[in-house]
Chains A and B, each alone.
Chain A
């Protein structure tokens, strides 16, 4: 069985946020919920790097460990899913998650948050595959249709990869090998710093 993984290649991510938008659209999530987000480090300065993050489907998932109603479960291919009918909206998964993946539709007084929502790796939830109820609660189940997560599928620069961990790492290793360990033929320096070109023709 494959072990499903996301990988975001920071040398390729251009912070276009199309993964966020396509995810919101595909799963028709409530306004204010974003299952995926892009973080840019050193924004606006030379060497800035963007990385797209969502639920990382951890093997030892902190959200699942702290959930007081034990509503999380793992699919055989390592996707972390949760049952919204069991979720009580306590917010503990939000405290525990390092990536800020758990989202809540509300944020009201008396800690009324509604049911937690997070990236499902486009694998829906515990309800029957591709049923109307499943779509309403968890969004589309692309995995059941034999497809991979939409965010990764439609990424324009192929920065975001999602799927079988072995395949993803093979692709990434090929890229790293081609670029070399510290890519000078790549990214910001190549785009905006033409010194190397000048040096080439003295």
Chain B
């Protein structure tokens, strides 16, 4: 009787699925990445420790820069023009959150004038945008 020589099976690690996994992860990051579309105005935010995360999708931003310029949704406005714009946004979304993104050097009188307009336009939920600060002052 003649013995057949055993067939040697080559040992290898299959790598074909690695690309699938990588592409799955890639598609996940591409799908969940949100690019900021709003430019706003250049402001240096004040620092605060008690800041809480603000859901960007629920908020509209009122920018007030150090030179006194005011913008909402990338439109430059004056303080009296703020009320009709916010009233329209509030009609579309009554639970609108208004994020006040104000430069730290702005005199408080300007901010107070904006807050008064917010009250008159019917905005209730306001958030003073801050830069997170873990240091104690």
A joins B in a complex: no
Q: Which residues of A contact B (CB under 8 A)?
A: none
